[in-house]
Structure 1
């Protein structure tokens, strides 16, 4: 009887695996199989998890990233996905202009409700190109938005990679405008935002925690 029960359990588990295959998010044909789990198998996202800070005489930029595992993505072919998501704090001349860090404490049902979320692994030639990077570099492009943005068209490229130096944990972020503001909100009414608040540029951030 015990053997029969064990056999049923094994068959059930095999059935679940067949229905929910685990695929590498960085190499598989993304979102092509219903109910598949697109997993960060080699833990590529883990190296970016934490809080990173940039400071100069005028501004403080802080990004915090967390890994969301097995996030349910509703689409034509719904599936489960590992994402890196992030939020930001921006201070200029002592005045805090953005602070969305608390948004990471919310378990949103839609990934775009986070201001930053991962697109997957890429190389040095992804725009904006990393001209000084070795051919073997692995970079992470992110969808970027700001909580103060109300424009339907404004977009920026945001790509990062590890740039450790002398034992100090660092990331390099390349951040550049790709599409200017449309002047309208998603509902068609006039927008106020003309550009993102955090200035565009290349930034080296040090790991804070």
Structure 2
């Protein structure tokens, strides 16, 4: 009886371990119930408060990490966050920082969410990245401009106090008729921002 219990325990441990897939595998198939894990703690490098400043222009991002975020059929470690952008004229165009600890039903409701590790030759290409260097691509939303498509953000780790943040602007709106009166671009300009840890 002890041998049967030990065998069942061993099989369950092996099958659980077989479902853990390191995130740094490009184009990996994700079976139902799998866990895409940040096994090298790469995402941890981006956690914190980051700031870009150029004269009056400011861009502040707060990023946190959630382990085992549930997508429809699998789990994945992700980043989530909120941001604030002040234009060069000193006007605050958007500020969602107070929502960072809001109890949404899912972390994917945050204005920044997700984490796909991308290599230097994937969109958007990184010409000055090192061979084998990974960046993190996430969703980037503007809470008052729903319906934009193609928006996103790419985080690149430089060192413990510096990251580069590339904002990808909109390619249009999902349903033109329902969003005719709304602008078709994010309030944060599409650009690369060098940010320092606060």
TM-score range, shorter chain: 0.7 to 0.9
Are residues 111 and 31 of structure 1, via their aligned partners in 2, closer, same or farther at CA, if it must alter by over 3 Å?
A: farther
- How well do the aligned residues superpose, as a CA RMSD in angstroms? 2.9
Checking the alignment, whether the CA contact within 8 Å between 2:148 and 2:185 is kept in structure 1 is no
Between 1:174-183 and 1:153-162, the stretch displaced more is: 174-183
2:163 pairs with one of 153, 168, 171:
171
Check if 1:116 corresponds to 2:112: yes
Q: Distance in 1 between matches of 2:34 and 2:12?
A: 13
Are residues 148 and 13 of structure 1, via their aligned partners in 2, closer, same or farther at CA, if it must alter by over 3 Å?
A: farther
Give the number of aligned pairs. Answer: 196
Equivalent residues in 2 for 1:27-66, closer than 5 Å: 27=25, 30=28, 32-66=30-64
Check if 1:205 corresponds to 2:174: no
- Structure 1 residue matching 2:75: 3-state secondary structure: strand
Aligned to 2:184: 194
For residues 41-78 of structure 1, the C-alpha deviation after alignment (integer angstroms, 9 at most, x for no partner) is 1111111111100011131100111111011212xxx1
Check if 1:25 corresponds to 2:23: yes
Q: TM-score, normalised by structure 2?
A: 0.82
1:119 deviates by 3.7
Aligned to 1:161: 156
Q: Which runs of 5+ in 1 are unaligned?
A: none
Q: Which runs of 5+ in 2 are unaligned?
A: none
Q: Distance in 2 between matches of 1:174 and 1:189?
A: 26
1:205 deviates by 0.2
1:202 deviates by 1.4
Equivalent residues in 2 for 1:66-81, closer than 5 Å: 66-74=64-72, 78-81=73-76
1:7 deviates by 6.8
Checking the alignment, whether the CA contact within 8 Å between 2:22 and 2:36 is kept in structure 1 is yes
Are residues 97 and 135 of structure 1, via their aligned partners in 2, closer, same or farther at CA, if it must alter by over 3 Å?
A: same
- Structure 1 residue matching 2:130: 3-state secondary structure: coil
